[in-house]
C-alpha cells in the first residue's frame, strides 16, 4: 500500500512539474525598434524585454528584431534572409508579434516595390500560421516617425503601409496592435525621430501586453 501511495505521489509531482514548466512562447519579430535601438540597455529596455516582465513567469518572450531590415522580399535588407527568420520559426512560438514596415518606407524600397508589400506580408503571416505550434498572429502598425532624417517616411507609413497592414489583418484573421498611436505627437519619446527611448519602449510593451492579455 505504501509503495502504491509513493508511486502515485511521484506521478502527481512529475505531472505538476511538467505543467509548471510549460510556458507560452512569444516571438517578437521586427526591425531596430524591436531590437531596442535608442535604449542604453537593449537587453533590459527593448520592448520585448519589458513585455516579458509584464507577462510574468508563465511566458517566455524572445527578441527576433533585426535592425534595418524590411518586410519586402525585394527590399534592401529583407527579414526573409536574416537568421532570425528561421530561428523565430524554430522557437515554436505560441504567439508571434510582427512589427515590420518602418524600413520599407525608405525610397529605395517603397518607391520600387510597394506593390509587393501586401503579398509579402500575407505570405509571412501564412509561414508562421503553418507552424506546428499554431501561433496566434499579431500585426503591429509601425510606430510614429517624428522626422524623415533617416529617409524613413511618416507620410508613407501613415497613408500607405498602415492601411495595407490593416487589410492583410482583416483578410488573414490576424489581430492588430496599433503602435502608431502609442507615441504619436510625442517627439520627446522619439529622440532621433525614429527610435523610442526607454519610456517609449515601456509604452509600446504596455500596448502589446494589453492586446495579448
For the stretch 201-211, pLDDT in tens is 999 999 999 99
Task: Give domain status of residue 4, yes or no.
Answer: no
Torsion, Cα of 119, 83, 150, 71 (10° steps): 10
pLDDT in tens, 12-66: 344 444 445 799 999 999 999 999 999 999 999 999 999 999 999 999 999 999 9
Which band of pLDDT confidence, cut at 50, 70 and 90, is reported for residue 144? very high
In the chain, the number of structural domains is 1
The pLDDT of 143-151, averaged and rounded, is 96
pLDDT computed for residue 16 by the predictor: 45
Quote the CA–CA distance of 50 and 109 in Å, as a whole number: 31
pLDDT band at residue 143 under the 50/70/90 scheme: very high
Residue 79: predicted pLDDT: 98
**Is residue 191, in this structure, part of any structural domain at all?**
yes
96 in a structural domain: yes
Instruction: Look at residue 142 and tell me whether its pLDDT is greater than 80.
Output: yes
* Per-residue confidence (pLDDT) for residue 12, from 0 to 100: 39
Residue 157 inside a domain? The answer is yes
140: domain range?
28-212
CATH of the domain at 115: 3.40.50.1110
Position 211 scores a pLDDT of 97
- Whether 6 maps to a domain, the answer reads no
Flag whether 10 is in a domain. no
Residue 96 CA to residue 88 CA, distance in Å, equals 9
Percent with pLDDT over 70 in the chain: 90
How far is Cα 34 from Cα 30, in angstroms, rounded to an integer? Answer: 5
Tell me the pTM: 0.90
Amino acid at each position: 500500500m505504501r509503495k502504491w501511495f509513493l508511486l502515485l505521489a511521484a506521478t502527481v509531482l512529475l505531472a505538476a512539474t511538467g505543467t509548471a514548466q510549460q510556458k507560452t512562447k512569444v516571438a517578437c519579430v521586427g526591425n531596430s525598434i524591436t531590437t531596442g535601438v535608442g535604449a542604453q540597455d537593449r537587453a533590459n529596455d527593448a520592448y520585448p524585454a519589458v513585455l516579458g516582465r509584464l507577462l510574468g513567469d508563465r511566458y517566455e518572450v524572445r527578441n527576433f528584431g533585426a535592425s534595418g531590415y524590411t518586410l519586402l522580399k525585394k527590399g534592401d535588407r529583407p527579414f526573409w534572409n536574416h537568421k532570425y527568420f528561421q530561428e523565430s520559426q524554430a522557437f515554436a512560438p505560441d504567439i508571434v508579434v510582427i512589427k515590420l514596415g518602418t524600413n520599407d518606407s525608405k525610397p529605395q524600397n517603397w518607391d520600387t516595390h510597394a506593390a509587393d508589400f501586401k503579398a509579402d506580408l500575407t505570405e509571412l503571416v501564412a509561414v508562421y500560421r503553418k507552424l506546428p505550434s499554431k501561433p496566434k498572429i499579431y500585426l503591429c502598425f509601425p510606430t510614429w516617425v517624428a522626422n524623415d532624417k533617416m529617409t524613413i517616411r511618416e507620410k508613407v507609413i501613415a497613408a500607405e503601409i498602415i492601411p495595407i497592414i490593416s487589410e492583410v489583418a482583416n483578410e488573414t484573421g490576424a489581430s492588430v496592435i496599433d503602435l502608431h498611436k502609442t507615441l504619436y505627437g510625442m517627439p520627446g519619446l522619439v529622440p532621433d525621430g525614429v527610435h523610442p527611448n526607454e519610456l517609449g519602449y515601456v509604452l509600446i510593451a504596455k500596448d502589446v501586453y494589453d492586446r495579448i492579455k
